């Protein structure tokens, strides 16, 4: 009987040990999960703060932006930048003005960087491939009275393709039109391919009735973000917006 009691007691102690070990293990796992969760939250907060700073926003504004993009605004306008999203969904006129001005400054800084890089790109292109003729802006294009100035994109513009046909039909055979292609890192080959796909008259290109040009900042200077857009040079050298 003494041996039986000893065995029962031993089993009881072993069971208690297992229970204690399981409790300790569970507590350790819970602590580890809590610690991991805190680390993830901390990293997310740091990332949010960094992204907010990059856009000139407070953490609260960034959180509002992420909340907006998680809802209907994100469904309607995926990948919308923070300033535009906050401006569209602004609750007051002052907020709209604030975000609009911030967007203007950011867009201007971006365009200036692109223009500067484009100048260097062209210089290097001409050095590397001097035998190839690149599309360049003719000296008289922005000065000759009567010329039509047209801004378009090769991509990311749903209305550009249909609008090109309208502007080409609007100008007659005697009205020269200078087409400026706007976009990041647009190559000469891409413009040539685009011109062929859109049935640009090669004869008119040869006679300078149609010229194909890289934008070089004209669009930002004169069009203020409207795309596509067309203007005609007046006698006083001013560009008048065309309705067609």
Contact status, residue 228 vs residue 164, Cβ threshold 8 Å: yes
Q: Between the CA of residue 89 and those of 56, 59, 93, 96, 194, what are the distances in Å?
A: 18, 17, 11, 8, 37
pLDDT in tens, 5-35: 444 445 454 455 544 545 555 655 666 655 5
Please say if the pLDDT value at position 234 is more than 70: yes
The burial of 48, by beta-carbon neighbours within 10 Å (0-12 exposed, 13-18 middle, 19 or more buried), is given as middle
Please say if the pLDDT value at position 3 is more than 60: no
* Residue 48: per-residue pLDDT: 76
Angle at 232 between CA 117 and CA 162, to 5 degrees: 75
Instruction: Indicate the helix (H) or strand (E) that contains 121.
Output: helix 93-128
pLDDT in tens, 37-49: 555 566 666 777 8
Confidence grade of residue 138 (pLDDT, cut at 50, 70, 90): very low
* Residue 23: per-residue pLDDT: 56
* Residue 24: per-residue pLDDT: 52
Confidence grade of residue 219 (pLDDT, cut at 50, 70, 90): confident
pLDDT in tens, 57-89: 999 999 999 999 999 999 988 888 999 999 999
Domains of the chain as residue ranges with CATH: 148-241 (3.40.30.10)
Please say if the pLDDT value at position 233 is more than 50: yes
Mean pLDDT throughout 205-219? 82
* Residue 241: per-residue pLDDT: 83
Residue 90: strand, helix, or coil: coil
Distance CA 13, CA 22 (A): 14
What percentage of the chain exceeds 90 in pLDDT?
Answer: 23
Please say if the pLDDT value at position 52 is more than 60: yes
The burial of 147, by beta-carbon neighbours within 10 Å (0-12 exposed, 13-18 middle, 19 or more buried), is given as buried
Backbone angles phi, psi at 97, to 5 degrees: -65, -40
What percentage of the chain exceeds 70 in pLDDT?
Answer: 71
Angle at 218 between CA 86 and CA 78, to 5 degrees: 30
Other C-beta atoms lying within 10 Å of the C-beta of residue 55: 16
Task: Strand 239-241: give its sheet, edge to edge.
Answer: 210-214, 177-182, 148-153, 229-233, 239-241
Compare 131 and 194 and report the one with higher pLDDT: 194
Q: Between the CA of residue 205 and those of 23, 111, 125, 126, 208, what are the distances in Å?
A: 83, 28, 22, 21, 5
The alpha-carbon radius of gyration of the chain (Å, integer) is 32
Average pLDDT across the chain, whole number: 77
Q: Which residues pair with 232 in a beta bridge?
A: 148, 240
Please say if the pLDDT value at position 141 is more than 50: no
* Residue 175: per-residue pLDDT: 82
Please say if the pLDDT value at position 135 is more than 70: no
């Amino acid at each position: 009987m003494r041996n039986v009691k000893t065995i029962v007691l031993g089993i009881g102690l072993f069971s208690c040990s297992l229970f204690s070990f399981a409790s300790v293990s569970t507590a350790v796992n819970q602590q580890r999960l809590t610690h991991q969760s805190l680390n993830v939250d901390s990293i997310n907060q740091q990332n949010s703060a960094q992204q907010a700073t990059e856009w000139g926003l407070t953490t609260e504004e960034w959180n509002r932006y992420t909340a907006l993009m998680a809802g209907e605004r994100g469904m309607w306008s995926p990948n919308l930048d923070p300033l535009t999203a906050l401006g569209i969904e602004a609750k007051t006129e002052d907020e709209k003005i604030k975000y609009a001005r911030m967007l203007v400054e950011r867009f201007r800084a971006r365009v200036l960087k692109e223009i500067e890089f484009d100048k260097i790109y062209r210089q290097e292109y001409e050095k590397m491939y001097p035998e190839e003729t690149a599309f360049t802006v003719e000296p008289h294009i922005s000065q000759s009275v009567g010329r039509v100035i047209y801004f378009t994109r090769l991509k990311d513009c749903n209305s550009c393709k249909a609008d090109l046909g309208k502007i080409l039909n609007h100008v007659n055979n005697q009205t020269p039109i200078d087409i400026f292609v706007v976009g990041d890192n647009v190559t000469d080959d891409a413009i040539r391919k685009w011109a062929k796909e859109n049935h640009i008259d090669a004869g008119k290109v040869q006679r300078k009735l149609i010229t194909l040009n890289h934008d070089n900042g004209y669009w930002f200077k004169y069009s203020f973000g409207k795309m596509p857009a067309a203007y005609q040079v007046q006698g006083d050298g001013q560009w008048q917006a065309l309705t067609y």
